[in-house]
Chains A and B, each alone.
Chain A
Amino acid sequence: MLTNGPAKRVTIFINEDAQRHMTPLHDAIMSYLMRNGISGATATRAYSGFGSQRAMHSAGIEVRARHLPIRIEFVDAPHKVDEVLPELYDMVSDGLIEVQDTSVVKASGTQAEPSPATPREEKKSAATLLRVYLGEADKWRGEPLYDAIVKKLRMMDIAGATVYRGILGYGAKGHEHKRSVFHPMRDLPIVITVIDEPAKIERAVAAVEAMLEDGLIVTSEVEMLRLVRCSGAEAVHEPGNPS
């Protein structure tokens, strides 16, 4: 399955009415990609375009509404792309194939859900506990700062974060955080706790530090015991296995 990190993006431009073995070429390419375990591909019909024949094809002009371009795009790991490229080269007799370096930021989906029957696994290790103290009213580009921090941590693949709302407190800002009848606009204390391996917490600290205006960040050494269900995702990596 597609994982975060370096990857290749392939874009293929072909004609809508190109044929291969009596079927439309774009259908043939799409089913070839699916059969060969490419994690996903999208075929888009263009509005207008021109190519090596220097003729404009456009959906707006009825006589030229034939031969409209089709664009097929997919992103996958470099070795997967190398596997399918020779065959694609052969299939696309009239068109363009382009490969770009890219990096995957988020790759998720409803693949291979771990079955409830699998035994759980205990992962014991030394870890760092990070606590961030801030105010509920703190903002980051228009959204609550605690929301922004949790989103950022999720993107960084940090194991988990929990946001607590305090009932009373004071700290770096100097004012008391307290809910009262006269101050319905609340600025209660917020504590975010995060536990992960030390190297990841180091990166998380740098990210949080860049976002926090006033506040407190503390870390402490803890022992982590994670209980995780074994996922059956390994099977998908086998070549030739359609996912």
Chain B
Amino acid sequence: MNRATQAKLLRIHVSESDRFGGKPLYEAIVDKCRELGIAGATALRGVEGYGEADELHGAGLLRRDQPVVISIVDTADHMARLIPEVEKMAPGVMALSDVKVIRVQQGA
């Protein structure tokens, strides 16, 4: 990814309790991103939310089932490779939007 280019931001909404291949789904998605050489992925935990099942996701006494959003920024063609892979894994909502990348730097 270069500076000051148009790119895509993909947000994947899942639940913290979702699992895939023996590990949390959000972890599996981030691992999949690395495998596909996606520039970066960040999983953020929400405080509360609800989705398709119309059931409130929150932190209970015994159960953690908070919403998790994975946000990924990369070029459109990288996204085209990633989206079908994620579709196979995640049942939740995915949203894609246009963004302008201002800076990305590879650390030492």
In B25-44, which residues have CB < 8 Å from any A CB? 26-27, 30, 33-34, 39-44
The residue in chain B whose Cβ has the minimal distance to the Cβ of A220 is: B99
Is the CB of B45 closer than 8 A to any CB of chain A?
A: yes
Is the contact region of chain A dominated by helix, strand, or loop, or is it mixed? Answer: strand
Are A217 and B30 interface neighbours, CB within 8 A?
no
Is the CB of B80 closer than 8 A to any CB of chain A?
A: no
9-residue interface stretch from A9-17, A41-49, A145-153, A165-173: A165-173
Is the CB of B103 closer than 8 A to any CB of chain A?
A: yes
Measuring CB to CB, which residues of chain B are less than 8 angstroms from any residue of chain A? 7, 9, 26-27, 30, 33-34, 39-45, 68, 71, 73, 97-107
Which 3 residue pairs spanning A and B have beta carbons closest together?
Answer: A171-B40, A169-B42, A214-B107
Are A166 and B43 interface neighbours, CB within 8 A?
yes
Alpha-carbon distance A172/B40, docked complex (angstroms): 7
In A204-219, which residues have CB < 8 Å from any B CB? 205, 209, 212-219
Q: Knowing A216-B73, A218-B9 touch, does A168 contact B43 (C-beta < 8 A)? A: yes
Are A216 and B104 interface neighbours, CB within 8 A?
yes
New A-B contacts (13) at CB < 8 Å, excluding given A131-B9, A174-B107: A133-B40, A165-B44, A167-B26, A167-B43, A168-B27, A169-B30, A169-B42, A170-B30, A174-B106, A189-B42, A209-B102, A220-B99, A221-B98
Return 9 A-B CB contacts under 8 Å, by A number.
A167-B44, A170-B34, A170-B41, A172-B39, A172-B40, A174-B106, A189-B42, A189-B43, A218-B99
Quick one: which of B39, B44, B97, B106 contacts A214, CB cutoff 8 A?
A: B106
Is the CB of A164 closer than 8 A to any CB of chain B?
A: yes
How far does the Cβ of B55 sit from chain A's closest Cβ, in whole Å?
A: 21
The residue in chain A whose Cβ has the minimal distance to the Cβ of B108 is: A214
Contacts of B41 in A (CB 8 A): 169-171
Contacts of A205 in B (CB 8 A): 102
How far does the Cβ of A90 sit from chain B's closest Cβ, in whole Å?
A: 57
Contacts of B71 in A (CB 8 A): 131, 191
Q: Knowing A167-B26, A168-B30, A191-B71 touch, does A217 contact B101 (C-beta < 8 A)? A: yes
Quick one: which of B33, B99, B105 contacts A219, CB cutoff 8 A?
A: B99
Are A172 and B106 interface neighbours, CB within 8 A?
yes
Alpha-carbon distance A204/B45, docked complex (angstroms): 26
Contact digits for A172-197, partner B, Cβ 8 Å, 1 yes 0 no: 11100000000000000101000000
Of the candidates B39, B42, B105, the one having the most CB atoms from chain A within 10 angstroms of its own CB is B42
Contacts of B40 in A (CB 8 A): 133, 169-172, 216
Contacts of B102 in A (CB 8 A): 205, 209, 217-219
